[in-house]
Structure 1
């Protein structure tokens, strides 16, 4: 697991540049094919030989590297599939799909191991990925219309940034010159226009980071997401395991608590899927983060399993709601030409930095106990809500209706 996390964290920002340069659809399909081939290759190796641990480490490196490209591309894909007023609903559907996969995937993997061992489990995983490839190929793409393009906001990317990204706000990714119209990508220019300047991947990365930093909604939104994830990941992973062991809940008790969290998060995703839009999205997200942080701190002080399940259900509902709203705001506020890089920064925080809190949480619980660590983590998470509520542009951010 550690071997998989390292390339994902190191290469995620570069993956965002790749997604914006070559187009999210092409990158998603290509990376899915690599994951399918890697999984089936390991399955065949395990079936024919007994190689030990090294093929799993190699597979982890491959998956971590591909994830660094796949995740930013997936984040940039919805803007090419639907209109801005439906992006929040797509975000809710994605949350439902993730919850469904989490519920069904584990038992499927266990059944495969029971029937055919590790080779069968990896073979099944490879086949499931293979099924997703034609589904992705069948997805119809669209170019964002003028009305679909997000406002960069006052203080957004300046003229130099727009020039460095070759085409500026609202350009379609995937051309030979990032964001450039077809004539410019071919080396020609329209009458009366200056030739487009080709950019380097490093220049594109810098332009994306400057775009986020100067954006009046995205910059504080990234900070709110980072604080929320840093305060959430430790207690709900390592912390919950140690808490269940300390209270004598056992594996079944912890399973019920996790189920409560999953049901709550699924309900939040379903709400966004059905409604498509919640008014005062920035305001609601901020208060949901704050209330969720209080519930996280309360988990360490509940008297029994039943109460813990109820609190976990509340945590899942609030965290799922705030997470879905933050994701939808990210999708609707970011310009489509920058979405790969914007998603890469967000994913780097969630999947690169936040997991570092897990060993720290375990060490802190060993030193001070579960109560103080859960409260401290809740305070860090709550700071994300404070940021969302104190920054005016983020607090007033709305989802398109």
Structure 2
């Protein structure tokens, strides 16, 4: 047994807050470097693709990374549970680091064309299918159950920071040395996460030593049956899936088309996105500071349903400032929905299944939803932005109503902190 594979200890009367736990902070530092690296990488990839081919080719290359995520995400959850999330995250970041450095080197000496960029996108999508479930499963193995909601708030803040820092950093790399320099920056960020990940102390499950090796399909089936029979996780996965289907398309594609239709321009679209980001950041700060919100299942479902009103408002309000205000409301409510959903998934899951639970919860937003972007664009072209936003909002509202109608999810609570001596 190594220092980083310690048995999971029972919760003691005094539990160190996550924001003061060096183990959690090392994980947060590694996750921050990796998240910023992701943003830099995708900006560098999109720039390189646009410079090397037509817009249609660019869209196809960018879609290549989404396909393996959609096909392999559930398998990635099995891998995370079988081999341990820490080991999978370290391996994933190492592969991403080597792949990006290799492409950066090739771009310095030659112009390999779109095929290399397509291969790189495919590799990243494949690795993401392993990385995403593992990184979602890791918090439950490095801190106590009572700190998991606070950890999700801290993770939400990192995601907001990565979105703000990553794009300008990637743009600076492109300006100074082209796509090769930007890829190099992404590789350095991935590399910087590795020593922090290696230093993390992770609890080892007794089941990992006792259960032996079974067929991957059997373990996947076990995980899906576990979710289906769980009184909280089963309805939670439905709410997450419907909410992601209703929200991801309008934010990523619909908003661009709406800004073009209204004549807001890129600056106007940026203002609306800033409103959403500020709202989501506010919800992350709230959860980080409070650590726990009462009636989490009820609050999650209610914020999802009310957030649908904000999605409709973005498309119908008469001015840019009101649209930005509606986006702020959406970010606050939907951000809180997502953070509470992640926290409940962590606290309700048996640690032996957490990788598979994380894979199922992320399958739609990270794998399936990106594949619907062309459908969203086609629907806007046929019916316009307002009807598409309305349909998306209705899907989010349906998710909230379903959660409110589920007795198990409606009654779900985050664990209370243990009493101080």
Q: Please tell me the TM-score bracket, short chain as reference.
A: 0.7 to 0.9
In 2, distance between residues paired with 1:141 and 1:259? 36
Partner residue, 2:366: 351
Q: Residue 40 of structure 1 is aligned with which of 98, 101, 106?
A: 101
Partner residue, 1:189: none
Cα-to-partner distance string for 1:343-383 (whole Å, 9 max, x where unaligned): 11111121122223322221111111111111111001111
Partner residue, 2:242: 227
Partner residue, 2:285: 270
In 2, distance between residues paired with 1:86 and 1:21? 24
1:142 shift after superposition: 2.5
2:121 paired with 1:60: yes
* SS state at 1:142 partner: strand
Partner residue, 2:73: 12
Cα-to-partner distance string for 1:141-161 (whole Å, 9 max, x where unaligned): 124xxxxxxxxxxxxxxxxxx
Q: Residue 336 of structure 2 is aligned with which of 317, 321, 326?
A: 321
Cα-to-partner distance string for 1:192-233 (whole Å, 9 max, x where unaligned): xxxx67521111111001001111110100000011000101
Gaps of 5+ in 1: 144-170, 173-178, 185-195
Partner residue, 2:202: 141
Partner residue, 1:152: none
Go from structure 1 to structure 2 and tell me whether the alpha carbon gap of 1:75 and 1:308 turns closer, same or farther (over 3 Å shift). same
Gaps of 5+ in 2: 1-61, 417-421
In 1, distance between residues paired with 2:153 and 2:122? 30
In 2, distance between residues paired with 1:47 and 1:264? 41
Partner residue, 2:305: 290
* Conservation of the 8 A alpha-carbon contact between 2:63 and 2:371: no
Q: TM-score, normalised by structure 2?
A: 0.83
Q: Residue 312 of structure 1 is aligned with which of 327, 347, 352?
A: 327
* Conservation of the 8 A alpha-carbon contact between 2:66 and 2:371: no
In 1, distance between residues paired with 2:352 and 2:270? 42
* Conservation of the 8 A alpha-carbon contact between 2:308 and 2:397: yes
Cα-to-partner distance string for 1:270-317 (whole Å, 9 max, x where unaligned): 110111000000011111001111110111111111111111111100
Partner residue, 1:129: 190
- CA-based RMSD of the aligned residues comes to 1.1
Q: Residue 350 of structure 2 is aligned with which of 311, 326, 335?
A: 335
* SS state at 2:65 partner: helix
Cα-to-partner distance string for 1:92-137 (whole Å, 9 max, x where unaligned): 1111001100000000000010011110000000001100111111
Partner residue, 2:91: 30
Give 1:1-400 correspondences, 5 Å limit.
1-143=62-204, 171-172=205-206, 179-180=207-208, 182=209, 184=210, 198-400=213-415
In 1, distance between residues paired with 2:126 and 2:369? 18
In 1, distance between residues paired with 2:262 and 2:356? 43
* Conservation of the 8 A alpha-carbon contact between 1:233 and 1:357: no
In 1, distance between residues paired with 2:125 and 2:267? 31
Partner residue, 1:153: none
In 1, distance between residues paired with 2:303 and 2:322? 20
In 2, distance between residues paired with 1:141 and 1:52? 42
1:7 shift after superposition: 0.9
In 1, distance between residues paired with 2:415 and 2:378? 44
* SS state at 2:256 partner: helix
Q: TM-score, normalised by structure 1?
A: 0.87
In 1, distance between residues paired with 2:364 and 2:384? 26
In 1, distance between residues paired with 2:258 and 2:248? 14
In 2, distance between residues paired with 1:352 and 1:121? 25
